[in-house]
Structure formats: C-alpha cells, structure tokens
Amino acid sequence: MSRENRSKTIGRPFRVAAWRSSPCGFETARKHTRAREDQRGQMRILLVGHGKMGQLVGELAGQYDCEVAGVIDPVSPLHGGGPDADRWTGVEVAIDFSTAASVPTNAAVLARRGICLVVGTTGWSRHEVALRQVIADAGVGIVVAPNFSTGVVLFEAIVAQAAKLFAPQADFGAFLHEAHHAAKKDAPSGTALLLKHAMEHAGFSRPIDVSSARAGFIPGTHTVGFDGPAETITLTHAARDRTAFARGALAAARWIQGKQGWYTMHDVLGVG
C-alpha cells in the first residue's frame, strides 16, 4: 500500500483483508476446560486485530480446542457481504483486541452474521447502549471485559469489600494507580475505571484519586490504597505477562458459544 493510500485509512475500523490459516493445533488442553470442550468439539474463531494480544490468543487457541479461521486486518471498514462473507462459514466466536474506533462497527457486522463476540478492547463505552441493542436484535452473545485475567476479577471483589469497610471511616481517603506499557493508548485503563466503579458501588462516596503511568513493557499493574492520618493500606494486582489475558479471552470464547445476551467475566467465572 502506498503512503498516500495508507494515510487515508488511518483511524478506520477493520476490514477482512487477509485471511491466514493457523497451525494452532495443540493436543494438550487445560484440565479444567477439557471435559466440556470434548463434548462440544472444536470451535472456529476469528481474531479481530492481530497485535501482541491477538497473536498470543492465536498461539494458545489450540489448547482450548479452537481453530483460528482467519484474522481481520486493521486497514479499512469491515463488510458483512460480498467476497468476504463466505469465509465466515462455521465461525462461532470472534475475539476482539483491536481499537476503540473499530469495535462498534465491526461488532455490529459480526453480530448480524450470527457470530458471538469476546471484546477486550477498551475506550468505546459511549457506544455501549447502541451495541447492546444490536446484540439483542441479533440474538447472539457477547462477553465484554477490560481485563480477562481471573486474578483481576477476584481482585475487583476484594477491592469492593475493602471499600465497603473503609466507607464509614471518614479519616481515610482512597487512591488508585495503574501502570501499563508505553504503547497503551487509553488512560486511565479500563480496569482502573472498573475498580473505581466497584469502590463507588460498594458505598465509598468520597473522592478517589486516579493516576496513570505509561512506560516500558509493563503488562498491567493496579494498586488501590486507603490512607489515614497515620497509616496506609494498599492492595495490588500485577500481571507478569499477557498469557493471563489471552487464556481468559479463550475461556470466555468457549463459554459464550451458543449463548445469547450481554455478559462479563463475572458471569464466565461465576463470581457474584
């Protein structure tokens, strides 16, 4: 693509431009998912976006008995008909780690094709109401999460409980700090906003200071603190690498297969 043509496509949603078969045929599946997956058989998935997360999902797909049917290339808008449509035959779930600008259009096209969705992209929440209606009308299922790691889902529950305990302690203020790699665009992170909401929902009504750092290659670290006149309590979740997110996304893809409705990782893990 020429520099001139490439500049015209920057910022547009994704289009199916290049489909690649995947050798992700690992034989060993994780014990806690194998029995269920054996009953349902292999599942065909699409990867929406093929950055670091998309590539990692592809590498691990075979361990969840998933076949990567294709990759949606980040160049121009996704189309639901024409020459691309027949390539979607048999695809059951699309896993999206793309860009905020791409999610609303691409998710709508995929949903109307009867494909369930797992969306880990953040920064598109202003379109949520409209997309909820599209999902309902299409009769498919979607799992939306800013973070797919099991640890973060449980960390959120711990943070909410801590906020509930500190809410009546007027001398204690709260803060939240998150750090990610230099390439992450949105700040604060979707996980930080999720944690802040959990604290507020738990009854912590005082201001919560939120700060962000972008540097190096940090997969993701979130710290919640409660500070009093003479003491501080901090709670921290630190991801050591991205595999926790990729495995969670694949587990969510297996879980959402054949379902209808809007879900989060709380539903996938059965966490109230």
Q: Which positions are catalytic?
A: 180, 184
How many CB atoms within 10 Å of residue 51?
A: 13
Secondary structure percentages of the chain, helix, strand, coil, to 5? 40, 20, 40
How many CB atoms within 10 Å of residue 269?
A: 14
Give the C-alpha separation, 33 to 65, whole Å.
10
Phi, psi of 254 (to 5 degrees): -65, -40
Contact 191, 146 (CB under 8 A): yes
The structure tokens listed for 248 are 């969670």
Contact 225, 208 (CB under 8 A): no
Give the C-alpha separation, 234 to 250, whole Å.
31
- Determine the straight-line distance between the first and last CA of the chain, rounded to whole angstroms: 49
* Per-position b or e across 27-46, b if 16+ CB within 10 A of its CB: eebeeebeeebeeeeebbbb
Give the C-alpha separation, 223 to 236, whole Å.
4
